A and B are shown apart, each in its own frame.
Chain A
Amino acid sequence: MSTCQPTQTVKPRSRIPLILSLLFIGGAYLLLILYHRQESIKTFSVVFCAIMFEAAPFMLLGSLIGGIIEAFVSRERLNRLIPAGRVLPIFIAAGLGLILPICECAIVPVVRRLCGKGLPPAAAIAYLLGGPAVNPLVAFSTALAYQWDWRIAGLRLLLGYTLAVGIALILQRLLSGKPVLLASITAHPAHNHSCSCCAHTHSHLESATSTSPARLFVRKLYAALTHASEDFLTAGHYLVIGAFIAALAQTYIDREFFTRFSSYPVLPTLLLIALAVLLNLCSETDAFIAASLRNLLPLSSQLAFMLTGPIFDLKLLLMYQQVFTRRTIIALALTILLSVFTVSSIIEMLERYC
């Protein structure tokens, strides 16, 4: 997997995302204007706003952390912190959430900036998948949802960590030699720069030895906020689209439907993976939804729901476009879905036959 490719040419941008965005915004505003009096649209509005009011502050925080990394942490300093080798950084990054807990809405801007500073892509993927799934808040909320059954919480964290490491290792091999990160992230390594919003101030910031420390701090802070603001604008609009689709699913999908196939093998797991992708719940609350199904569906499918949600759902699929190439996103999505399905199926077999 290649890290930075400064000579990589930036392809002319496709108009498809712009057209899709225009269609989305037109449809969303029309829906509101034409049907705002309908009860279901009022309920939809409440759910959509609730997701946004909960997620946006975390995304703002993530953008701020990303901006601070961009302005205050030099590439050299970060490289000194990353252990040598291809495998060790993956194992460490997947467990970083235990000491730096961060939710899935906040982690994408942070990882984007870390990648720009030279974090190896495989380690970035491990942190992206491990951070929201393997952290103390998730352990606590899962134990609480399952009546303080720490075995479920422990199993969730162990499987989450194993998946993060496994998927990162698989992608490292699969995408070896191919561009993993967007060219805009890796295009300006000399400036540690990944956007065009502050006229290349970083190189000046970092070499400004003649400036007083206080003045330098203020300039760095301003640069951090500028970057954070830009990241919020970029990642935030993906969050809105994801939240909108999730709110539609939350308003119109009958959850009891997902329990009708409990006696079939494998099917409950597949359905709950689909439900996790559609509902876009945050990793601190999904355990409560999973626990509400505990008398109706096998533990394997509940785990499939809790393992998928923090690492792959509609909003994350959109937000990953801020960091990775399309090829990487497709490989990442398929590997996640196949890995979660495999792990859950093994647990289902153990449940049925042991």
Chain B
Amino acid sequence: MRLNKLLNSIPWKIPLYTFWLSVIVKLLYSGEYTLFLRPEFAFILIGGGVALLAFLLTALLAPAPDAAHNSSGTILRVAILLLPLFYFLNTQGQYLGGDSYAKRRIGPPTINRSQNATAATPADYSEVADNPDLEGELLAQYPQTFDRNTEAITILDLYDFPDKYTGQQISLIGMLHTDDPEIAAEYGDGVAILYRFVITCCVADALPAAVLVSGQTPPGLLSDSWVEISGTYAPITKGDQLIPVIKDPVIKETAQPAQPYLY
């Protein structure tokens, strides 16, 4: 009974709001929130932090709790609301990797040509190649579509502009998934998958964007290691869809990029 009385006399909301607020400040200050949410969502966290600060001030101004206000139900709710913060301690530097790729991928990588209605078609690119004047004009009008610069492109660029990089030497960073029986059955041995997760809002909705890599992988490379791959982009056409493929790849292991996800 004495313990019950003691527990009920503690203003549990104050530590709850303080811990939550501290984690939000830490996430924003360190930029670590982009391991959970897309970068633009900082304002959502700021809004949540302001509300928590207001709740904390209200809790501090409130009279000392009594049994009517602080029951075992309140203590239990606070314990449940603190649970994500303890799990947060277990996430340091962690991101979605090979296990999640296996669980979240749906079929082999495919790009829908109509993914980007404003993207140019192969005919547009041929026309531009034949007429340099047109290239300058279109480059000014649609810089993203007609800029042939392949430096610092990501897997997502291949999905956004399906025909833009065909036949070009490109270099991509991602995780290399090797020894996939499904891919081996469909495309033969020696084909691996380079992938990165793309976040729409938060990690819960992350989906892998992937390309096939046709060529020898370095011996001893662990599956789902971070690599930089340079090679020729040679997609296979299947109706309105493309199977993105990098041929003759040079694969070298690389450090994990500052942002493991694409947004």
Question: Is A32 a contact of B87 with CB atoms below 8 Å?
Answer: yes
Give A61 to B83 CA distance when docked, in angstroms: 21
Q: Does any Cβ of A come within 8 Å of B62's Cβ?
A: yes
Q: Give the contacts of A213-254 with B (CB-CB under 8 A).
A: 222, 225-226, 228-229, 232-234, 236-237, 240-241, 243-244, 246-247, 250-254
Chain A residue contacts of B241, Cβ below 8 A = 295
Q: Does any Cβ of A come within 8 Å of B216's Cβ?
A: no
Q: How far is the CB of A86 from chain B (nearest CB, A)?
A: 36
Question: Is A147 a contact of B81 with CB atoms below 8 Å?
Answer: no
Question: Is A54 a contact of B99 with CB atoms below 8 Å?
Answer: no
Q: How far is the CB of B240 from chain A (nearest CB, A)?
A: 10
Closest to B55 in A: A229
Q: Does any Cβ of B come within 8 Å of A261's Cβ?
A: no
Q: How far is the CB of A241 from chain B (nearest CB, A)?
A: 7
Question: Is B78 a contact of A233 with CB atoms below 8 Å?
Answer: yes
Q: Report the stretch among B90-98, B146-154, B183-191 that lies at the interface.
A: B90-98
Question: Is A241 a contact of B80 with CB atoms below 8 Å?
Answer: yes
Chain B residue contacts of A36, Cβ below 8 A = 90
Chain A residue contacts of B35, Cβ below 8 A = 46
Question: Is A56 a contact of B202 with CB atoms below 8 Å?
Answer: no
Q: Does any Cβ of A come within 8 Å of B242's Cβ?
A: no
What 0/1 readout, one digit per residue, does chain A (13-50) give for beta carbons within 8 Å of chain B? 00000100110110011001000100111111111111
Q: How far is the CB of B70 from chain A (nearest CB, A)?
A: 11
Residues of A within 8 A of B (CB): 18, 21-22, 24-25, 28-29, 32, 36, 39-54, 56-58, 60-61, 63-64, 141, 147-148, 196-197, 222, 225-226, 228-229, 232-234, 236-237, 240-241, 243-244, 246-247, 250-256, 259, 279-282, 284-286, 288-289, 292-293, 295-296
Q: 5 A-B contacts, Cβ less than 8 Å apart?
A: A45-B87, A47-B203, A47-B204, A53-B84, A56-B48
Q: A40-B99, A229-B13, A288-B205 are in contact. List 6 more A-B contacts (CB 8 A).
A: A45-B87, A222-B61, A229-B17, A233-B77, A246-B204, A252-B103
